[in-house]
Amino acid sequence: MGGYTQSIMRMGRSDAIDLFRKWSDEQTPIRWQGSFGNFAFGSWGYVLSPPSEIEIRVTSQDRRSELVIRLASVIEYDYADSRTVTAEEKKFKECVVLAMKIPQEGDPDTIALAALDVDALKQK
């Protein structure tokens, strides 16, 4: 999901939660990735319903693993959609990047959630 970083825009917390609710309601397949100083992770899954003002829960496709993200005040929300990316990233219709605003050296810790554009894949 690296292609999103060049054309991303800030979004508010409530807008991010609304988008997570939409993905949950529609059972949109999503790609989730985390990038931290000493490790990274990623998987495919779904937003569990319903996302709250406090946290979002994401489950893996096989429903055996779960990621819980506390929506703390130190998180900034960035948004991008398929109009602003090229190549491989076009398969995602929307992406929200959660960035930790804690002062640190180097790149911020991030978790990205990107909704797969199922309709576009069916047309190919």
Neighbours of 62 (CB within 10 A): 9
For 30, the domain range is 2-123
Q: What dihedral angle (degrees, nearest 10) is formed by the CA atoms of 78, 81, 84, 88?
A: 110
Is 0.85 topped by the overall pTM?
A: no
Q: How many domains, in total, are found in the chain?
A: 1
Give the tens place of pLDDT for each residue, 73-97.
Answer: 889 999 988 776 666 666 788 889 8
Give the tens place of pLDDT for each residue, 48-61.
Answer: 978 888 999 999 99
In CATH, what number is assigned to the domain containing residue 87?
Answer: 2.30.29
